[in-house]
Amino acid sequence: MAKVKSKWVCQNCGYESAGYLGKCPECSSWGSFVEEVQSERPINISPQGIVNDCKPSLINDIHVGKEIRVSTGISEFDRILGGGLVQGSIVLIAGDPGIGKSTILLQTSGGLANLGKKVLYVSAEESAGQLKLRADRLGVKSDSIYIYPQTNLESIKSQIEELSPDMVVIDSIQAIYSQTIQSSAGSVSQIRECCNILMQIAKTKNITVLVIGHVTKDGNIAGPKVLEHMVDTVISFEGDKYKSYRMLRSMKNRFGNTSEVGIFEMGSNGLKEVINPNQLFLNERSQENIPGTAIIVTNEGTRPLLVEIQALVGATPYPSPRRVANGVDFGRLLQILAVLEKRVGLNLSKQDVYVNVMGGIEVDEPSADLGIALAIATCARDVVVDSQTVIIGEIGLSGEIHPVNNLEKMLNEASMTGFKKAIIPYANKDITHPKIKTVPVKRLIDAIGACISPEGNK
């Protein structure tokens, strides 16, 4: 019989202590420690289920079969996963409540069932009836999808053994509990233990396990960081609450690229892939030229995305001018403003500056600098950037424009969306495009000239 031990765990960050602590030494939260009683694991099995008594082997002597991938039936989702779900892997889908996690996994279940795979969908939050209603709405019909409303992990385990499905969906990890741990569902120990058991099932029985995880108020995946360490793939589901589009982003992938992004639109019949996302981000743009707007190309994963940057510059009624950045790093905006003042001679000390990335997305790439600077400069000077021009370049502190990566792909994307001209860094001048006139610039001031002079607008 396994021994029972007790420990105190911070419910905020998962820090463990032998006794109660008022303040967590790891995350500084107060009163977050809860006592948890746990059965001890046999000593020769690691938490990851690896038996610890094997011998070291030479890397050349280790033979592994090629991983088997199964298509989810949703091509964008397959791309983020690195070409489909790897059989026997464990994938965590994390996101805010209501973002569409259950929807995409039910659609995925449908996709796998169409390929003749058996799916067990464990619903720990909704009743079978609710899931059936959603399945009808999504048009998911199959006699190989089993819906199992259950929160007890031991029961789930025995059903997996009985049914031996190809894929198991756990909706959600925060709502299930294991009897071996005497703490409530959703606590750090429960989440960790349940994930361990699911991982052992995935690895020993070669079943793909998709786990839904909720995100806390501050945007972290609820439960300890160890959850992210344990699983093979972490996919984050993001989106703007007020818009219908959603982004799936791969944060960790043992079987593929990270930072891949897939874009979906939530409609009345579930999530649909957005084939040309640029249309989505640019279609609200007015076609005539407005001072203070610039189109940039940002790389979301390996996919270039065209987005509009808007700036508003105006005399301030306040003693110190306001700077507001939406979708752009605040420190980065201040740096761009400093360069505009010092190297271009634009006096912004008595001007409020607002910068906004349209479509509610975050742009964190240095290659967006030049577009942000031009949006601000053109608004301050009341001139326009040609609406057929995209702006690409990173700005240095002395006002020089640094080269960027992935420019060819960016130009291709711009050309496909109908753009005719691109302002690019001088160091990238050798990169050309048959359908886009490239204007290489060395300094920020040259870029402003190229955008707003009559020659530049040709």
Cα-Cα-Cα-Cα dihedral sign, residues 131, 132, 136, 139: positive
Stretch of 7-15, 71-79, 96-104, 447-455 lying at the interface with Mg ion (CB under 5 A): 96-104
What is the bridge-based pairing of β-strands 293-300 and 208-214?
unpaired
Alpha carbons 95 and 89: distance in angstroms, whole number:
20
Longest C-alpha distance within the chain, in Å? 84
Residues 101-130 that bind Mg ion (CB under 5 A): 102
Interaction of residue 38 with ligand TYD, rule CB under 6 A: no
The beta strand positions in 111-204, using DSSP E, are 119-123, 145-149, 167-171
In whole angstroms, the minimum distance from the beta carbon of 301 to ligand TYD comes to: 21
In whole angstroms, the minimum distance from the beta carbon of 214 to ligand TYD comes to: 8
Q: Are 252 and 228 in contact (CB under 8 A)?
A: yes
In whole angstroms, the minimum distance from the beta carbon of 219 to ligand TYD comes to: 15
Stretch of 57-65, 100-108, 403-411, 436-444 lying at the interface with Mg ion (CB under 5 A): 100-108
In whole angstroms, the minimum distance from the beta carbon of 201 to ligand TYD comes to: 22
Nearer to Mg ion, 102 or 187 (CB): 102
Residue 32, class by beta-carbon neighbours within 10 Å (0-12 exposed, 13-18 middle, 19+ buried)?
A: buried
Query: Checking phi first, is residue 31 left (phi over 0); if not, alpha (psi -120 to 50) or beta?
Result: left
Q: Which of 110, 165, 223, 270 binds ligand TYD (CB under 6 A)?
A: 270
Residue 134 contact, options ligand TYD, Mg ion, none, Cβ 5-8 Å cut-off depending on partner type: ligand TYD
Nearer to ligand TYD, 23 or 243 (CB): 243
Nearer to ligand TYD, 169 or 441 (CB): 169
> Any idea what DSSP says for residue 2?
-
Alpha carbons 71 and 146: distance in angstroms, whole number:
19
Nearer to ligand TYD, 92 or 266 (CB): 266
Residue 270 contact, options Mg ion, ligand TYD, none, Cβ 5-8 Å cut-off depending on partner type: ligand TYD
In whole angstroms, the minimum distance from the beta carbon of 149 to Mg ion comes to: 13
Nearer to ligand TYD, 125 or 413 (CB): 125
Q: Which of 9, 169, 175, 266 binds ligand TYD (CB under 6 A)?
A: 266
Cα-Cα-Cα-Cα dihedral sign, residues 20, 21, 26, 27: positive
**What 3 state SS string does 210-250 have?**
EEEEEECCCCCECCCHHHHHHCCEEEEEEECCCCCEEEEEE
The verdict on whether omega for the bond into residue 172 sits within 30 degrees of 0, i.e. cis, is yes
Residues 437-456 that bind ligand TYD (CB under 6 A): none
Nearer to Mg ion, 102 or 310 (CB): 102
Q: Are 425 and 395 in contact (CB under 8 A)?
A: no
Residues 79-138 that bind ligand TYD (CB under 6 A): 95, 97-103, 134, 137-138
Nearer to ligand TYD, 169 or 328 (CB): 169
Residue 418 contact, options ligand TYD, Mg ion, none, Cβ 5-8 Å cut-off depending on partner type: none
Residue 92 contact, options ligand TYD, Mg ion, none, Cβ 5-8 Å cut-off depending on partner type: none
**What 3 state SS string does 13-60 have?**
CCCEECCCCCECCCCCCECCEEEEEEECCCCCECCCCCECCCCCCCHH
Tell me the site size for ligand TYD, rule CB under 6 A: 15
Nearer to ligand TYD, 100 or 371 (CB): 100
Residue 256 contact, options ligand TYD, Mg ion, none, Cβ 5-8 Å cut-off depending on partner type: none
Cα-Cα-Cα-Cα dihedral sign, residues 232, 230, 174, 214: negative
Nearer to Mg ion, 100 or 327 (CB): 100
Residue 269 contact, options ligand TYD, Mg ion, none, Cβ 5-8 Å cut-off depending on partner type: ligand TYD
Rounded to the nearest 10 degrees, the angle between the axes of helix 188-205 and helix 153-163 is: 10
Q: Which string of DSSP letters, residue by residue, matches 407-440?
A: HHHHHHHHHHTT--EEEEEGGGTT--BTTBEEEE
Alpha carbons 237 and 100: distance in angstroms, whole number:
8
Q: Which of 306, 444, 310 is CA-nearest to residue 376?
A: 310
In whole angstroms, the minimum distance from the beta carbon of 105 to Mg ion comes to: 8
In whole angstroms, the minimum distance from the beta carbon of 109 to Mg ion comes to: 13
* Residues of the shown chain interacting with Mg ion in the complex, contacts defined by CB under 5 A: 102
Residues that bind ligand TYD (CB under 6 A): 95, 97-103, 134, 137-138, 266, 268-270
